[in-house]
Chain A
């Protein structure tokens, strides 16, 4: 189950001790090391799910928030794996629940934000195409925020995500949409 060698665990333990003392370089190295372990762990369990990278980031956030709960006298790996597994299980649970919501997203959503009457059809089609290429969570969150015009709080309640997660997912979704639309020839 463990994907960490004893030498690696020893190194990460030392980095974590230094990180708890506020050593930024050690923390950078720690997160860099953990990121690889988390990515591998997540990929082994959920394959190439489009939200895999979101889980990796969520685990890194959780480690950051919970770093004061690790006792330097205790082994690091069980603490780290418990945090990671918990975030992964939560993510799988949320995406299973979201899977039910996602069914209607295969239908082209009514585009309500297009202002120019000419070229509407192709713009709508491009936007719908870009929306389909987003990660499922990003699609869901943007749809609920922009089409259903719900607040961040309401979307958080509906999806079981925290409000800050909704904001982060929406932010990433907008950035991805911008990239995709830029690739399709749109300036802004």
Chain B
């Protein structure tokens, strides 16, 4: 096929398109999905019985504050990176990682303080239930975010997918924060914060090729 033929084919195939809304508008849309779908899932699991008291504690406020910041900025970054030519400010790239890092550091301080009071604080319980809960709560928002990123045409796919994974893990962590009554620092560190570290790493390594493959399948079906 010559380039002239390619141009003719593309012109012949032209259909009107609606431009995607600006990334910040799409980010607000995703925020609404998180609020509704995540909220419904968290309510279905049942809010932790001490939630009314927990929200008044500094630890809970710090956890949720760092998580909301990490999740919101990572979600926005993923949607921004889905659009060719949009640049992510250097500072904005580090905010999600820094916020997640601050949350983990906060948990470590809590753990050190608990260990100072009782060496039993080192005990690691089995908290797979929290991981399952986080995955369930984050399922719809994660799928929505991946679809929204996929609607774009990212030229920085690895970064977009990694930020999407961080945002999804953040939604799950926020969900378990309001549904799990266990406040042991070790439990929080392993079972609540663990996925927020591992999921973006897995996404960066294995998720990107999968996402690229999925995008190609969609393009071929569309073609």
Contact = CB atoms under 8 A, between A and B. Distances in A.
A139 B185 CA distance: 61
Contact of B219 (A22, A82, A162): A162
Interface in A38-66: 53, 56-57, 60-62, 64-66
Contact of A82 (B6, B14, B84, B222): B84
A7 to B, nearest CB: 20
Interface stretch (A27-35, A94-102, A124-132, A142-150): A27-35
Interface string B149-168: 00011010000000000000
Main secondary structure on A side of the interface with B: helix
Interface string A94-122: 00000000000000000000000000000
A20 to B, nearest CB: 5
Contacts of A24: 11-12, 14
B16 A22 contact: yes
A60 B7 contact: yes
Interface in B1-54: 1, 3, 6-7, 10-22
B82 interface: yes
A82 to B, nearest CB: 4
B216 interface: yes
Contact of A83 (B1, B18, B155): B155
Contacts of A22: 14-16
B22 A168 contact: no
B54 to A, nearest CB: 42
Contacts of A73: 22
B86 to A, nearest CB: 8
A61 B6 contact: yes
Contacts of B85: 74, 78-83
Contacts of A178: none
Contacts of B155: 82-83, 85-86
Contacts of A57: 1, 3, 6
Interface of B: 1, 3, 6-7, 10-22, 82-87, 152-153, 155, 216, 219-220, 222-223
Interface of A: 19-22, 24, 27-28, 31-32, 35, 53, 56-57, 60-62, 64-74, 78-83, 85-86, 162-164, 168, 171-172, 175
Q: Which 6 A-B pairs have the closest CB atoms?
A: A22-B16, A66-B153, A78-B85, A86-B155, A82-B84, A79-B85
